[in-house]
Amino acid sequence: MSLTSITIISPEAANGRNVVALGVVKTLATIGRTGVFRPSVCRKDAFTDVLIGAANAGLNRDQCVGVCPKRAREDKNGSRADIVAAYTHAVETADPEFMVIVGTDRSSVNDPAMFAFNADVAADLQSPVLLSVCTINRTPSQVRDTVEASARVIEESGSKVVGVFITGCDDTQPQPLRGCFADYPVPVWTLPAVDFDEDDAIAKADKAFAANVDADELIKAIKTPFDAPTTPYAFQYGLLGKAKSDKKTIVLPEGTEDRIIRAADYLLERDIVNLIIVGDKQSILARGEELGLESLCKAQFQAKDDEAVLTPMVAKLCELRAKKGMTEEQARKQLADESYFGTMLVVMGKADGLVSGSINSTANTVRPALQVIKTKPGTSLVSGAFLMCFRDHVAVFADCAINLNPNAEQLAEIAIQSAETAKAFGIDPRVGMLSYSTLGSGKGPDVELVEKATSIVREKAPDLAVVGSIQFDAAWSPTVAATKAKGDPVAGHVNVFVFPDLCAGNIAYKAVQRSSGAVAVGPVLQGLNRPVNDLSRGATVPDIINTVALTAIEAQ
């Protein structure tokens, strides 16, 4: 069943917002299975129960609530992640046709950032917005200015306003307000004030809504086509959901690292993947207990000196490296290395993929994979791409991890690999081959290399949307592209950025990550026969969680 969601938020979060929320829930419940979700609400709030009573999706209060307001104030980023998780669970539980998301309430603690937080949450939940603005003590032009300022905040977050409610109107105000909003691009409705502290407030609210809001017009506005954004929180939770849908087994060789076992605990608690953790079971569980972890026991643990596993592994490694003269003694010595041992668990079919690198270098992670897993048929190299989660979309940056100075053929292969990675994660690839020149504006051997690589991409993947050579600004911005690459359909809309060398790629992804707040997921190692992915030694627990999830998705 397809889902239509709508978020109701207000810069005041009172003075009529409740009338709007109740009216919208009741309207939608007449035409379909409708649920309610409160991203951040006090457990003592009684109005949430009124909304749940008006809905018909069968969700209880615990299923309809994300986080408490104090948590939302003090940890907005962490709250957004938990809100996406709670909302996704509610939708999966109820399978509704409509979800009405109602923003935060007025609070005695004034947090100036809370309206922007509500707008961010709407984008995270990939929901358009019904904006509620109060007219009390405002002229019509002041109301319009407030609506337009609020709409800009919502649009900057990645969502959009599909309708406006002006609340708190007395009998003299609707007509001048309608005149002030006559040219507004979305429907605008006016509502009188209703005091929800009165005993008959719900009846009054129902009467006011029915008298002033045309149900068909409201439903049409809610169903307005909406190009949903993909925020970092939406993308990351999408990774977890996709990984969970077809569980794979991932090996984590670095079982002595606290970040690894914290990430493992998170994934195991939510039943997202099966995990093999390399190391001594009792030592790892004891450390997990010290860290307060409760789900680590669900993992499979694999000691490196377990002969039942080690003996056939040694034989297999000698077979794979026979041309290099590998002996049993050398194989055992090689397998004392945790990364090599973990990689061989994948080779032996005990795991579907591997994630390493929190305490080992990229070389230590990649070298065993290249030696025993090897590249896919028809592939000559391995490259490293990052999924860059921006405010409202996801892009791919490559190569940022492996190849120092690729030639034209290698650069073309990196581009094609990166486009395939984009497709695997639901991104329709539009490739930009980056340089200091846009479509011939600059000359030199570096430009010629990129232009040659672009030609090879077009020859090998004729259906792939690609532009090159192109400067980053012309690849990124439609405004710049209109000047520098006029008429090119890909310029200004690139979402797979292929850098000419490792120096440029590595600097660029880290610069963008640190300066813009984008979340970098990866690197995804492209071109291997089986998924093996490398972590930065500065990886956080969320970084590790994301990388394990994307590795599992690659294994699918």
Per-residue pLDDT of the chain (556 residues; tens, 9 = 90+): 589 999 999 998 666 899 999 999 999 999 999 999 999 999 888 999 999 999 999 999 999 999 999 999 999 888 998 899 899 989 989 999 999 999 998 888 888 899 999 999 999 999 999 999 999 889 999 999 999 999 999 999 999 999 999 999 999 999 999 999 999 999 999 999 888 777 888 999 999 999 999 999 999 999 999 988 888 888 888 888 889 889 999 999 999 999 999 999 999 998 999 999 999 999 999 999 999 999 999 999 999 999 999 999 999 999 988 888 888 989 899 899 898 999 999 999 999 999 998 887 777 888 888 888 888 888 889 999 999 999 889 999 999 989 999 999 999 999 999 999 999 888 999 999 999 999 999 999 999 999 999 999 999 999 999 999 999 999 999 999 999 999 999 999 999 999 999 999 999 999 999 998 888 887 888 999 999 988 878 888 888 998 999 899 989 8
Residue 6, number of CB atoms within 10 A of its CB: 25
Round to whole Å and give the CA distance between 137 and 116: 23
Residue with tokens 């492209």: 526
Round to whole Å and give the CA distance between 421 and 499: 16
3-state secondary structure of 273: coil
From the list 356, 246, 263, 319, the residue with the least C-alpha distance to 542 is: 263
* 453, burial (CB in 10 Å: exposed 0-12, middle 13-18, buried 19+): buried
- Whole-model pTM: value is 0.79
Contact 201, 194 (CB under 8 A): yes
Structure-token pair, residue 469: 């050579």
